[in-house]
A and B are shown apart, each in its own frame.
Chain A
Amino acid sequence: MNEKVIEVGIIGNPNTGKTSLFNCLTGAFQHVGNWPGKTVEKKEGEVAWKGYTIKFVDLPGTYSIAPYSEEERIAREYVVSPEPDLIVQIVDVNTLLRNLFLTFEIASLRKKLILAFNFNREAKRKGVKTKTSKIKEKLQIPIVEIEAHTGEKKENLLEAIVKTYERKQKTPDYIDKLVKTKEEINHIEARKFLENILKDNYQAGDGDDLTGKIDRVLLNQFTALPIFFLVLWLLFQATFTLSTPLVDLINNLLGELSSIVSKVLITLASPEWVSSLIIDGVIGGVGSVLTFTPLIFILFFLIAILEDSGYLARTVFLVDKLFEKLGLTGRSFIPMILGFGCNVPAIMATRTIRDTREKLISILINPFMSCSARLPVYVLFTGVFFRNHQGFVIMNLYLFGVTVAFLSVLVLRKILPGREEATLILELPPYRLPTLRNVLLHTWSQGKHFIQKAGTIILIAVLVIWFLASFPFGVDYGSRQSLLGEIGQVISPIFKPLGFGDWTFSVALIFGFVAKEVVIGTLGTLYGVGEEGLINVLPRVMTPLSALSLMVFVLLYVPCMATVAVIRRETNSWKWTIFQVVASTLIAWLAAFAVFNLGRILGF
């Protein structure tokens, strides 16, 4: 590590290649986290150059740093803080004029600034003509041309960073004329000023032919929605079907590992609780984390492709109307649909939602989208109690979940702090070919972060459940005599008004926190009949109505620990995580209570 550190903030409009620039400068040495106390992602990375360590901080993509949205506030606070030695703004030369509004805002804060002109080759192809050196002269700000996608000419930028760092930079003399207040520039004046500069030195292209042609198909009145639903179906299938063999492989490997470890432990004559701690606790816990990783890696790989190609923004445009009445935008759609597969990657996908309030709402309601782990529970109970109406009952459970989600949106909009932000203002970037490097880096950093952050929480949760189920040591795992069994007996009266007051259900529901499908296995074990035997046992301990009530409860109550862990990770707040857990369990209780008691009144 070099002694001399230059800290550089990278800023830019959305879709200008900012992430590519950050990736090509820092390579795989990135640290992904959140801005302190915020849901917005913060990425940092370093590179050694000419005796300096240059530390890059990737700021949120933003059109402005006048602090209206959370992204803008974060970017602004960082720019005005003493932390950055200088700011690099990446500029798409295709949309030069619009990009330079942000330049003026930064320059007016008297911060050292370099402009990195990007997409020069693409611009040339589209007929854009730029006299960079003339523009540099007029703007009085250093400009470097680069190709962020490929990393070409990045050395020029690093060179400029060192040079600018070592020298004084004067604030451009025209800036004061363009500033309206301390925080904002006068856009009308700024535009006039820019048109004057660009008149002889810049010629815009005659529109993007290729993008127009592709949009004629992908946004066509008749073909747009069918194509979108096909893409969505493929995304869903790829994420949840392609990952299955990988998940099975991980489970098999862990199974092998468990049996080897258990043999070793037997030869060592270790006490039974130690073996159980290692096999059920540690290996089981690591397994729970690892089984999610194929899903997350595949999903983020595909989302990165959708995003970088420019299609993701178009899907938002296509379905926005459906969300307008709910007070959300089309950005909420894809995470919601993914929730039917698994809430963990679905909640991570809310990262594509820019508005922080909308993002929070989407995270909090996502667990009401019935994930595939809940399906085995429905299949078992409907198979026993609603043999002739199985499909009908299950379909209605899904619809009920969606209804609860929508009602929750309406309530959350009323109670969440912050300004009501209901409208859509969306830039549709030109179609661009995603680069493998960017897509892979994106996938890797998200996957790694899940393992580190959410993984820790999941592992702790597994160990806690393991302890409760094993203590006092020597009892059967999760049995009536265990601490968990005791807790189950104590809390079982809570479920009596819902129709399933037997302590076995309480214990099964607690185990359901590990993963919802575990409810079935636990019941099988507790009744001493295994999963298959439940078909004979259940009709003796519950009625069809109490089974329905239980299914409603399983649909809505506290999400599994992995989901809770990603809620914590994505909201960056224990407060909202606990709110979700408490509120969803309360809603589950009330809904199951209503189902059971209405059913009884109706005579079922």
Chain B
Amino acid sequence: MATQQFSLTKLPPQKTSSIKAVKLDEVLEERLHKLGFITGVKIQFIKASPFGSPRIYRLLNTLISIRDNVAKKILVEVSGE
């Protein structure tokens, strides 16, 4: 079982991954924590806006939209088969 790590923006649609690390300035990181962007939380990419960014993700049973420049700094992990 190999695991792959990449930034949240590279996550393919509908594939479930789990959050590995959030690397942003403290204020932004804290805001994201409150919405569930916490290490270990399962996250899915749902849809991008017609202009590419922002994108919508599903986590903790909610849909959250963040811009790519923020999502880029969130590391996720997908376990391969």
A residues with a Cβ closer than 8 A to B are: 63-64, 66, 68, 94-95, 97-98, 101-102, 184, 187-188, 191, 204-205, 207, 211, 215, 219, 221, 224-225, 317-318, 320-322, 324, 419, 423-430
Contacts and interface: CB of A to CB of B under 8 A. Distances in A.
B51 A322 contact: yes
B50 A63 contact: no
A426 B50 contact: no
Interface of B: 27-28, 30-36, 38-41, 46-47, 49-54, 56, 58, 60-67, 69-70
B49 A207 contact: no
Contact of A318 (B38, B39, B49, B63): B49
A121 B3 CA distance: 39
B61 A426 contact: no
A12 B70 CA distance: 25
A191 B51 contact: no
In this complex, the member of B38, B52, B66, B69 whose beta carbon has the largest number of chain A beta carbons within 10 angstroms is B38
17 contacts: A94-B61, A95-B62, A98-B62, A187-B38, A188-B38, A188-B39, A207-B61, A224-B49, A225-B50, A320-B53, A320-B54, A423-B70, A425-B31, A425-B32, A425-B65, A425-B70, A428-B65
Contacts of B50: 221, 224-225, 318
Contacts of B28: 423
A262 B35 CA distance: 63
A104 B33 CA distance: 14
A294 B31 CA distance: 39
Closest 3 CB pairs of A and B: A321-B51, A428-B63, A63-B34
B31 A191 contact: no
A95 B61 contact: yes
A215 B56 CA distance: 11
A188 B38 CA distance: 6
A224 B48 CA distance: 11
Contacts, number: 98
A424 B27 contact: no
Given A191-B38, A426-B54, A426-B64, 9 more contacts: A95-B60, A98-B62, A101-B34, A188-B39, A215-B46, A317-B65, A321-B54, A423-B69, A424-B67
A191 B33 CA distance: 10
B64 A428 contact: yes
Contacts of B41: 191
Nearest to B47: A219
Given A63-B35, A101-B34, A426 B65 contact: yes
A68 B58 CA distance: 24
Nearest to A184: B30
A313 to B, nearest CB: 8
Contacts of B56: 219, 317, 428
Nearest to B55: A317
Contacts of A207: 58, 61
In this complex, the member of B28, B33, B38 whose beta carbon has the largest number of chain A beta carbons within 10 angstroms is B33
A63 B52 CA distance: 27
A191 B49 contact: no
Contact of B64 (A215, A224, A425): A425
Contacts of A322: 51
A321 B31 contact: no
Contact of B27 (A68, A188, A430): A68
A423 to B, nearest CB: 6
B60 A98 contact: yes
A427 B59 CA distance: 11
Contacts of B67: 320, 324, 423-424
